[in-house]
Amino acid sequence: MAKSRAMFAYSITALCAAALLAHADDKKPFSSKDSVEAKATVEEVRPDRSLVLKGENGERLSLVAGPDVRNFDQIKVGDEVSLVYHVGIAAEVKPKGTPLSSPQYSTYEKRAAPGTKPGGSVGQELATTVRIESVDTSFNTVTFKKADGVTRTVAVEDPEARKFIRTLKPGDPVEIRYSEAVAVSVKPYQR
């Protein structure tokens, strides 16, 4: 779990910083949410707890449902599987002198109730404070330091974010909160 959290923190800190800073140009709190949904149809249910799914674009995918997936035996050929990925980002530039906070993680998971169609969700959230070390507008990069002393440099792609990084100064503390969740549900075949 610790390794998973470390990888999560490592991979999202750069993403968070760039995305969060992109929308705080007046140094007011910023938040953004986005969801992506994918649907597939069950083409085959195998005795080894594997499924063959066909996506809306025609691609086929095989996956295995682990022992934690309840009610697997209720999945039928023709059922629709819905996968929704949610991501949320929030940031706020804090007053000078705000100490850096160590990353705080929270996770959750929810399984389908016994007797219902298979489904569930899992998610996690990271909250931390980073301090701006430098901004290079010629290369559109921001360098920041995390509470553990690690310094990271991220490239800023978004045009709005590039406008914002021009307003940042070394020493600015930025509080970030990043969350992501995946929800999966199986809907019965409609005849």
- Please compute the mean of the pLDDT values over residues 1-20 and round it to a whole number: 39
The answer to whether the CB of 24 falls within 8 A of the CB of 165 is: no
Q: Where are the domains of the chain?
A: 2-187
Phi–psi pair at 160, nearest 5 degrees: -65, -40
Question: Looking at residue 91, what is its pLDDT?
Answer: 63
The full length of the chain comes to 191
pLDDT tens-place string over residues 63-72:
888 887 888 8
Q: Is the pLDDT of residue 190 over 70?
A: no
Residues 22-35 as b/e (b if ≥16 CB within 10 A, e otherwise) read bbbbeeeebeeeee
pLDDT tens-place string over residues 157-176:
767 667 777 878 899 887 87
Question: Looking at residue 41, what is its pLDDT?
Answer: 93
Q: Is the pLDDT of residue 77 over 90?
A: yes
Question: Looking at residue 170, what is its pLDDT?
Answer: 92
pLDDT tens-place string over residues 12-55:
443 444 444 343 344 555 556 678 888 999 999 999 989 999 98
Residue 102 neighbours by CB under 8 Å, 6+ apart: 128, 147, 148
pLDDT-derived band at 7 (thresholds 50, 70, 90) equals very low
Task: Please give the Cα distance from 7 to 1 (Å, whole number).
Answer: 10
Q: Which residue has the higher pLDDT, 75 or 155?
A: 75
In the chain, what percentage of residues exceed pLDDT 70?
Answer: 77
Mean pLDDT value across the chain: 77
pTM: 0.58
Q: Which residue has the higher pLDDT, 102 or 12?
A: 102
Q: Is the pLDDT of residue 136 over 90?
A: yes
